[in-house]
Copies of this chain bind each other. A is one copy, B any other.
Amino acid sequence: MTISSSSTTTSGVATAQGFRAAGISAGIKPTRKLDLALVVSDAPAAAAAMFTRNKVQAAPVLVSQEHLAKSGGIVRAIVVNSGCANACTGEIGMSDARTMAKETASLLGCPAEQVLVASTGVIGVNLPMDKIKSGIPQAFSALSSARGGQAAEAIMTTDPFPKEAAATITIGGRTVTIGGMAKGSGMIGPDLVPSATMLAFVTTDAELAPPMLRRALAEVVDDTFNAITVDGDTSTNDAVVLMANGASGAAIGDAEYPQFVKALYSVCLDLALGIVRGGEGATKLVAVTVSGGASSADARTAAKAIANSLLVKTAIHGGDPNWGRLLAVAGRAGVAFDPNRAKVTIGPTVLFADGRPYDDRAPEAAAYLKNTDVAVGVDLGAGTAVSTVWTCDLSAEYVSINADYRT
């Protein structure tokens, strides 16, 4: 599957018909930056969602799962705050997350279970509920199909820029829009399905039956949000939600499914790569492709190990074509691997093959590593499976961002 970037616009979560969004400052962040987002579908929408696999699940994750089960996957709105994760906050945290949904539902005139909740920020601190309670009506009043960008800003934590993407396809003569927003930065790890303090909300005006919607999301997440990493850590709060309200009048059946999935993939990949580009302290986007795997799982495991290696990430940050580190990580990744048939490439340059180094080509690879978007590859020499994982470099700025996140 390839990115159909020609169909990608700069719009986001409120671009599809029948969706509105808002992002306001409720005062949760001491900086007074936007910190409360609301995404609303004018009509009840089918929703598919995937949450963190972390055994510590934040209150909003637990409440959203409850609500989806209770509503049969019918959702009207998602309310999201940044600045506080509402994780590890005990019974008070659960009650606060329920209150966020209830307050939103009462404004919309829908059952509370049709509202999903998400939070991101510091773990272990209770939400300032007075600010949340006065913020929700404020966001509700601001709802507009033109305010997806503000919503994308309001869900940011250490993100250097908002992440939005959209694509349109034509189904039976009707224009179907898929749009979304995401936030990431830290605690972005590859054990996603989903993982990381990663939030992604995607909306479409296509009509899909809930089972097909869930299938589409699961299929796409594996090669997008599941294939990125910033620091290999997995958050307590991750959520990817896909809502389909059918407002375009175009129904997706088996015949249209491939076209829909392809467009959904392009939106999700855009958002996922945006998270990596905006990774904490990141200066480079790195595509790590492992080929020659005995199985897809092996290829993915090795690609993730390389993508999470501090030694690899710092070498790429420094523009150092230290290909031996790539090989060493592949060797410790616990997958089938034949050093005598293995190959290491940095960009187009082969630096190790046939069991021997081609280190004289290092200057060529060093020149290539001056690019902002770089690709590195390891062939495991053990089969034919291939997997790509995207990561960013590791800079001194990552350390300063994370050394004093709370303080």
Per the 8 Å Cβ criterion, residues 21-62 of A in contact with B are 53-57
Question: Within the complex, which residue of B89, B187, B328, B355 is in contact with A328, where a contact is CB–CB below 8 Å?
Answer: B187
Question: Within the complex, which residue of B56, B332, B407 is in contact with A54, where a contact is CB–CB below 8 Å?
Answer: B332
**Given contact pairs A87-B324, A357-B124, A396-B396, A315 touches B402 in the complex (Cβ within 8 A):** yes
Q: What does the 1/0 interface line of A309-326 toward B look like (CB < 8 Å)?
A: 111001101111111110
**Given contact pairs A328-B187, A332-B195, A310 touches B398 in the complex (Cβ within 8 A):** yes
Question: Within the complex, which residue of B122, B311, B330 is in contact with A402, where a contact is CB–CB below 8 Å?
Answer: B311
CA distance A319 to B405 in the complex (A): 10
Task: List B contacts of A332 (CB < 8 A).
Answer: 53-55, 189, 191, 195, 233-234
Complex contact B398–A331 (CB within 8 A):
no
Complex contact A310–B233 (CB within 8 A):
yes
Complex contact A331–B236 (CB within 8 A):
yes
Complex contact B231–A56 (CB within 8 A):
no
Complex contact A339–B396 (CB within 8 A):
no
Question: Considering only CB atoms and an 8 Å cut-off, how many residues of chain A contact the other chain?
Answer: 73
* Copies of this protein chain in the complex: 2
Complex contact B124–A323 (CB within 8 A):
yes
Minimum Cβ distance to chain B for residue A356 (Å): 3
A1 at the interface (CB under 8 A from B): no
Complex contact B325–A123 (CB within 8 A):
yes
CA distance A398 to B318 in the complex (A): 12
CA distance A318 to B403 in the complex (A): 4
Q: What does the 1/0 interface line of A251-264 toward B look like (CB < 8 Å)?
A: 00000000000000
> Chain A residues in contact with chain B, CB under 8 A?
53-57, 85, 87-92, 122-126, 186-187, 189, 191, 195, 231-236, 309-311, 314-315, 317-325, 327-332, 337, 339, 342, 351-352, 354-357, 359, 362, 366, 394-396, 398-407
